[in-house]
Amino acid sequence: MGDVSLIGIDLGKHSFHLHAQDSSGRMVFRKKLTRSQLLAQLGNFQACTVAMESCAGAHWLARHLAAMGHQPKLIPPQFVKPFVKGNKNDFADAEAICEAVVRPNMRFAMPHTEAQQALSALHRMREALVGDHTCTTNQIHAFLLEFGISLAKGKEAIKALPVVLARHEDLPPAIVDVLLRLQAHHKYLDGQIADVDREISRQLKADEHSNRLLEIPGIGPVTASALSIELGDPHQFKNARQFAASIGLVPGQYSTGDKPKLLGISKRGDKRLRSLLVLGARSIMKHIERRTDVLGRWVCAMLARRHSNVVACALANKLARIAWAMLARGTHFDAGRSAMAA
């Protein structure tokens, strides 16, 4: 198998479909392998390029392939789809991956380390806990409203639920029991979210490069760690604007006939990271009158002529660019320069 220069793999849960090509692009073989057979078979090939979509299991496989001497390349799935010829099947997908990977302007995803994957899993768990927390809060409010009781907003109102129930002795015992169960679950979720936040902060402090992101206004431990996962090696992006574009914080475009037409933000990439940056931008805007630095003056000038929603997205874009510049150049946040330099 010394004539194989490129292998495309369509990843699956139990089976993997391989399409191999030589240096001239001709097909050498097609194979279907089980998970137990995959690494053993790939270990028999000479060093070559192995491409796959950046989906479940891709980062784990990329690390093993790199250890074998192969060159792993991960392609976002949306960039592979246009190269599928005819009907879709697993071998056609593997062939399409080979077609996509040789394009000169193709964009690739960086394989994550084990530490980055573990931190990413922690973020996903936190996201699920926060969603469950919101759902439980809404249920408590909705069930009380069904019996004509309007509960105040905020965590303190949930904590004071037994007092509210004591004042309404006419409530059925069954609904009281349901509400108390929901309150106990709400308290449990509060503790779990706090534990996850502490673990994220602990892991962030162990990484000096990521810890510097906390110097940026509007960036807390959760956003800083999410940025460190997404950035990985900052030099995978040509410049700060390319990184901002990768998470959907630049205008979309629909231009034709030499008539440029810019739309709203493209919303490509990581939705969670984009939301965190926008929330961070809104936290800065909330007390913008207190900031007298370059960033504060820039935001105030924007607010004077544009809607606050537009300014929030523009400021989120700015924060993403500052984060890239700090990690790529190994610098610290400078309130007098960073806002305009990124």
pLDDT at 175 exceeding the cut of 90? yes
pLDDT at 23 exceeding the cut of 80? yes
Q: How far apart are CA 249 and CA 230, in angstroms?
A: 14
Q: What are phi and psi of 124, to 5 degrees?
A: -65, -40
For position 238, what pLDDT does the model report? 85
For position 337, what pLDDT does the model report? 61
**Rounded to the nearest 5 degrees, what angle is found at the Cα of 260, between the Cα atoms of 258 and 262?**
165
pTM of the model: 0.81
H/E stretch holding 6 reads strand 6-10
Burial label for 266, CB within 10 Å (0-12, 13-18, 19+), is: middle
Closest to 100 measured CA to CA, from 122, 82, 88: 82
For position 319, what pLDDT does the model report? 92
Lowest mean pLDDT among 84-88, 181-185, 279-283, 299-303: 84-88
Q: What does the pLDDT look like over 231-249, one tens digit per residue?
A: 877 888 888 888 888 888 8
Q: What is the largest CA-CA distance in the chain?
A: 82
Indicate the length of the chain as a whole number.
342
Q: How far apart are CA 99 and CA 87, in angstroms?
A: 16
H/E stretch holding 309 reads helix 308-329
Q: How far apart are CA 76 and CA 9, in angstroms?
A: 13
Closest to 320 measured CA to CA, from 230, 239, 244, 224: 244
The CB-based long-range contact list for 289-296 (8 Å cut-off, 24+ gap) reads 291/217, 293/335, 293/336, 293/339, 294/335, 294/336, 294/337, 294/339, 294/340, 295/217, 295/335, 295/338, 295/339
Which domains are present in the chain? Answer: 6-101 (3.30.420.140), 114-187 (no CATH), 208-341 (no CATH)
Q: What does the pLDDT look like over 105-159, one tens digit per residue?
A: 888 888 888 888 888 899 999 999 999 999 999 999 999 999 988 988 888 999 9
